[in-house]
Structure 1
Amino acid sequence: MEALTINSVGFGLFIGSGKAEKLLTPQGAAHAYVLGNILWYALGWRGWTTCVLYLLAGSAVTKVKMAEKTARGIAEGRGGRRGPENVWGSAATGAACALACVVWPQRAALLRVGYAASLATKLGDTFASEIGKAYGRTTYLITTLRPVPAGTEGAVSLEGTAAGVGGSLIIAWYAAAIGLMPASAIGVCAVAAFVACNVESVLGATTQGKTAWLTNEVINFVNTTVGAAVGMALWALMLR
C-alpha cells in the first residue's frame, strides 16, 4: 500500500507538471502508472527511477531533429508520445524481472542486473535509431551491409551504433550509481544491450513487415528480453 501511495504522489507531480502529455498519450499515462506501481512495489525507488530515466532520455532523443525526420517520413508517430503498446513493448521484460525478484528473492541480485540490462537495451536501441536517423551519414542493412535509406528496418550506421552504446551506458551507470546493481555489471549491461540491439536489427531486416504479428512492439519485447537474458548470463558467468 505504501508503494502505491508513493508512486501515486510521484506520478501526480509528473502529471501536474504538464510533462506527461508531452511524453505519453492519455492511455499510455494510465499504463505507465500501472507499470510504476509494479516497479516501486518490487524494486522500490531505485527500480522506479531507472525506468523514469529511460522514459525521459528516450523521449528527449526521439525529438532530436524531429521536424527534419517528420519531413522525411521517418519520425516516430504521435510526435514521439508513448502509448500503451510502447510502454509494455519497452518495459514488460523489466517488469517481469522486477516481479521475479519478489518471487525468488534469493535470485534478486541477478534479476536486478537483468532488469537494468533490459532498460539499457531499450534506451540503447532508441538512441541508435533516433541518432542514426538524424545524423547517420551512411546507413547499411545489417544482413547485407548494402547502403539503404535512413529509417529502413534493420539499418545501422556508425553514428547510431555509437549513440546506442552511449544510451545503454546511461542506464547502466545510473543503476550502478544508485545501488540497484554492482558497478562491475555496467560493462555487462552495455555488452548485453549491444548484442540485443544487433539481434533486433537482424529481425527487423528479415522478418518485420513480412509477418503480421511481428509488430514493432513485439520486436521491442524480444529485444529487451534478449538484453536481459544475455545480461544475466554474462553476470552469472562472471560470478562463477
Structure 2
Amino acid sequence: MLALWEIILYIDICVGLSVFAYYRNILDLKGSMLAFVVGVIISVMGSILWLIMLLLFLLTSFAFTRYRFEIKKMKGLHEGTRGERGYRNVAANGLVMTIIAILAFAGVPTIDLGTASFMFVSALAVAAADTAASEIGVFDPKPVLITTLKPVPPGTNGGVSLTGQLAAFFSAAVTSAIAYLLFSLNSQMVVGAYTFLIPTLCGFFGCQIDSLIGATIEQKGKIGKLGNNFLSIASGAMLAWVLSLLF
C-alpha cells in the first residue's frame, strides 16, 4: 500500500505530464485531462514504473506521428491538425491498461503484480507496434491486404507492408526491452528472458489482430478505428495473461 505522500507525488507528476502534453501539442485539452486520470490510476493502483513506460510511449508515438507529417497531411493520413491526439485516442489506447491496474489493485486471483505487469507491458507493446506500423508503414509503396495479400492503397484498413511489419516488431521489442530494464531495478520483480520475449510476442500479435479486424469488421463499418485499437490491445494483454500462467 502506498503512503499518502507517494499518492500525492504521483498525482503531482500526472498533473505535470498532462500539462506538458497539452502545451507541447501531444494531446488536446480533453485528451490531456483523460490522460491525467489514466496516469493516476495506473501509477497508484499499478506501479510508477508503468507510468514511466506510458510516458515513453506517449513521446515516441508523438514522434512517429510527426514523422513526415506534412506528407501525411497532404494524403489525408494525419492525426489532428498538428499530430495531437484526443480523448478518444487516449481511451482506446489506455482503457485496457487502466483495467489491468484496477484488477491488480483489487487482488483478482491469477492477476498479481507480476502477471499484471506482463499484461500491462504487452498491452503497451501492442499500442506501440500499431502506432509504428501505421505511422511508418504508410510510406511503404507496396502494402497488401492482410487477408488476401492483394495490393491496396496506403492507409487502407487491414493493409500491411514489410516496412510496417518491421516497424511494429521493432517497437514491440524496444517497449519490452525498456520494461525489462525498469523491472530489473525493482527488487520485488522477478525478471528473465520471458520478461522480454512474452511482451514482444504479444505486442506483435496484437498488431496483427488490429490488421485482421481492420480488413474485416472495421472495413464493413461494424466497428471504428478506436474500437479496433481497444480490441487488439486487449487481445495482446489476454495472450500475455495466458502465457504468464504457463511460465
- TM-score, scaled to structure 2: 0.89
Which secondary structure state, in structure 2, belongs to the residue aligned with residue 148 of structure 1? coil
Q: 2:121 aligns with which of 106, 111, 116?
A: 116
1:4 deviates by: 4.3
Whether 1:132 and 2:137 are equivalent positions in the alignment is yes
Match of 1:5 among 8, 17, 27: 8
Larger proportion of helix: 1
Counterparts of 1:18 and 1:41, CA distance in 2:
20
Aligned partners of 2:208, 2:23: CA distance in 1, in Å?
31
- Are 1:215 and 2:224 matched, yes or no? yes
Q: How do 1:148-187 residues align onto structure 2 when only pairs under 5 Å count? A: 148-179=152-183, 182-184=191-193, 185-187=195-197
Q: Which runs of 4+ in 1 moved over 3 A?
A: 1-4, 11-21
Matched position secondary structure for 1:23: coil
- Cα 1:70–1:42 change in 2 (3 A) is same
* Native 8 Å contact 1:3 1:40 kept in 2: no
Q: How does 1:1-240 map to 2 (within 5 A)?
A: 1-14=4-17, 17=20, 20-104=23-107, 107-134=112-139, 136-179=140-183, 182-184=191-193, 185-212=195-222, 214-237=223-246, 239=247
Q: CA deviation at 1:183?
A: 4.1
Equivalent residue pairs, number: 236
* 67-76 vs 100-109, greater mean Cα deviation: 100-109
Extract unaligned runs of 5+ from structure 1: none
Question: Cα–Cα, structure 1 residues 116 and 18, in superposed 2: closer, same or farther, change >3 Å?
Answer: closer
Q: Deviations over 1:138-193 (max 9, x none)?
A: 10010110111110110000011000011112221111111176242211111111
The TM-score, its normalising length taken from structure 1, stands at 0.91
SS state of the match for residue 41, structure 2? helix
Instruction: Pick closer, same or farther for the CA change 1:72–1:49 going to 2, 3 Å.
Output: same
More moved, 221-230 vs 183-192: 183-192
Preserved CA contact (<8 Å) 1:101 1:107: yes
What is the CA–CA distance in structure 1 between the aligned matches of 2:178 and 2:23, rounded to whole Å?
Answer: 22
> Are the equivalent residues in 1 in contact too, given 2:22–2:28 (CA < 8 A)?
no
Q: Please list the CA deviations of residues 185-228 of structure 1 after superposition, one character each: whole Å capped at 9, or x if unmatched.
A: 2111111111111111011011114235x111111110110010
CA distance in 2, matches of 1:98, 1:90: 14
Distance (Å, rounded) in 2 between the aligned partners of 1:178 and 1:70: 36
Q: Deviations over 1:16-65 (max 9, x none)?
A: 65764410000000000001110111123201111111111111111111
Instruction: Give identity over the alignment, percent.
Output: 26
CA RMSD, 1 decimal: 1.9
Cα pair 2:14 2:40 within 8 Å, conserved: no
Higher mean alpha-carbon deviation, 202-211 vs 124-133, is at 202-211
Q: The residue matched to 1:186 in structure 2 has which SS? A: helix
Q: Distance in 2 between matches of 1:94 and 1:160?
A: 24
